Amino acid sequence: MIASLADAWRWYESARTLTLAMARLGAKHWKDLPWEGSLGRDERLKSLDRGEIRANSQAVLEDLDDLCVLLLFSVFEANIRSRVLAEIEIEVPGLRHVALRHAVATLREAIQYGSFFRILEPYKPLDANLIEKVNQVRRYRNWVAHGRRGPQPPAVSPQSAYMRLQQFLVMVETTPPRTLG
Amino acid sequence: MPASKSFRDFLEEKAREGNEVTRRQQRQEWVDAVNRLVSQLSQWLTEADPKGVLEVERVEFRKAEEEIGSYQVPGLDIRLGGTAGVRIMPVGRNVVGSVAFRGAVGMPAEGRVDLTDGFRKYTLYRTLEGGERWHVVDDRYNIAPLDQARFEAIMQDLLS
């Protein structure tokens, strides 16, 4: 299961390594494989031809980098939302007034389903520059997620996305929530 | 100036015009930079291939970037023997990230061009600090300055 940025990165590296290996096998060695033995009886492999392997590998690799950015940001977003929610839950038991309890219910919903941009806003005093870097990843993710329609925002590589999001998580994890604001 | 336009509208219009000039300049500067790069790479290919084994075709890409608008920019399609091929393809003027050599402070990337055989990819990043320079990042995230020897090694790898 992919639950952390490290998990997502491992998935990306594995998918890329395996696809590149399969592409290489198809392009360079497919006809030299010992098809006379058990390999030739393997239903999954015997029907594959070089052209199909090439086309399929290319189809995977063409979008893999952007899919990785999408995945990294989704994992990051889920982590931040649940972290903020957990931090707020600690404060809730002390609240007695009905208006406050109602406000907390609204806040919970906003944290779970509302604009992620607004969730990041309170972290600005910690490092506004880093928030902007994360927002650049978010904008690129949105562009990819909406079918790459319209002008391209500044391009984000998987490595840049991973480093920025990881940097933000480290900052949040090492800062007690009450020091914000 | 029409009477209906307020001073505030007038100033906003001027600001927009100023932005448009900057956008146009940035766009042109980027297209010029890619043209220079493509010419340099073409020249290195010609020098390495006196017998004309490679088929090199200049191709045009239509791009649209949020910050600089739409433009057309060149790339290269390089083929060897009708099977192996490499595409040199501009990705964008505005890219997120920096180019950092081990132990050094990163320089902001100011443009990206990819070299790919459709499977493997080398990424060229441009930096402008201390003059325009191009750097190559391979698929293991190693960074090296782009020079003729490095380019020839990349082409040999992608065409093998």
CA-to-CA distance for A86 and A81, rounded, in angstroms?
A: 9
pLDDT reading at A95 higher than 80: yes
pLDDT reading at A36 higher than 70: yes
The reported pLDDT for the residue numbered B103 is 62
Q: Touching check for A157 and chain B: CB below 8 Å?
A: yes
CA-to-CA distance for A42 and A27, rounded, in angstroms?
A: 20
Asked if A155 lies within 8 A of B69 by C-beta distance, the reply is no
What is the average pLDDT across B71-90?
Answer: 92
Q: Touching check for A23 and chain B: CB below 8 Å?
A: yes
Most B CBs within 10 Å: which of A131, A152, A164, as the mutation test of the B interface? A152
Max distance between CA atoms of chain A, in angstroms, equals 78
In a domain, B68, yes or no: yes
Query: A128, A124, A165: which is closest to B97 by C-alpha?
Result: A165
In a domain, B126, yes or no: yes
- Scanning A50-178, the segments in alpha helix (DSSP H) are 50-91, 98-113, 116-120, 128-145, 158-173
Can you give the residue ranges of every domain in chain A?
A: 5-179
CA-to-CA distance for B155 and B54, rounded, in angstroms?
A: 11
What is the helix, strand, coil percentage profile of chain B, to 5? 35, 35, 30
CA-to-CA distance for B156 and B23, rounded, in angstroms?
A: 38
Q: Touching check for A53 and chain B: CB below 8 Å?
A: no
In a domain, B138, yes or no: yes
Measure Cα distances from B146 to A116, B36, B137, B152 in Å.
39, 14, 9, 10
Asked if A156 lies within 8 A of B96 by C-beta distance, the reply is yes
Stretch 59-98 of chain B: residues touching chain A, C-beta under 8 Å: 63-67, 69-70, 91-92, 94-97
Task: Count Cβ atoms within 10 A of the Cβ of residue B73 and give its class: 0-12 exposed, 13-18 middle, 19 or more buried.
Answer: buried
Higher pLDDT, A94 or A180: A94
What is the average pLDDT across A134-163?
Answer: 95
Q: Touching check for A114 and chain B: CB below 8 Å?
A: no
Instruction: Work out the number of other CB atoms within 10 angstroms of the CB of residue B159.
Output: 17
Asked if A164 lies within 8 A of B92 by C-beta distance, the reply is no
**B5: closest CA of chain A, how far (Å):** 31
pLDDT reading at A26 higher than 60: yes
| pLDDT digits 0-9 by tens, A105-148 | 999 999 999 999 999 998 898 899 999 999 999 999 999 999 99
pLDDT reading at A154 higher than 80: yes
Q: Touching check for B112 and chain A: CB below 8 Å?
A: yes
Asked if A153 lies within 8 A of B69 by C-beta distance, the reply is no
Q: How confident is the model at residue A178 (pLDDT cuts 50, 70, 90)?
A: low
In a domain, B1, yes or no: no
User: CA angle B10-B15-B20, nearest 5°?
Assistant: 125
Q: How confident is the model at residue B104 (pLDDT cuts 50, 70, 90)?
A: low
Task: Determine contact, residues A154/A136, Cβ cutoff 8 Å.
Answer: yes
In a domain, B81, yes or no: yes
Q: Which domain holds residue B71?
A: 7-159
In a domain, B63, yes or no: yes
Query: B95, B113, B66: which is closest to A152 by C-alpha?
Result: B66
Asked if B65 lies within 8 A of A23 by C-beta distance, the reply is no
In a domain, B2, yes or no: no
DSSP annotation of A73 reads H
**Which residue in the set A136, A151, A155 is minimally distant from B64, CB to CB?**
A151
**CA within 13 Å, CB half, A165:** 29
The count of structural domains within chain B is 1
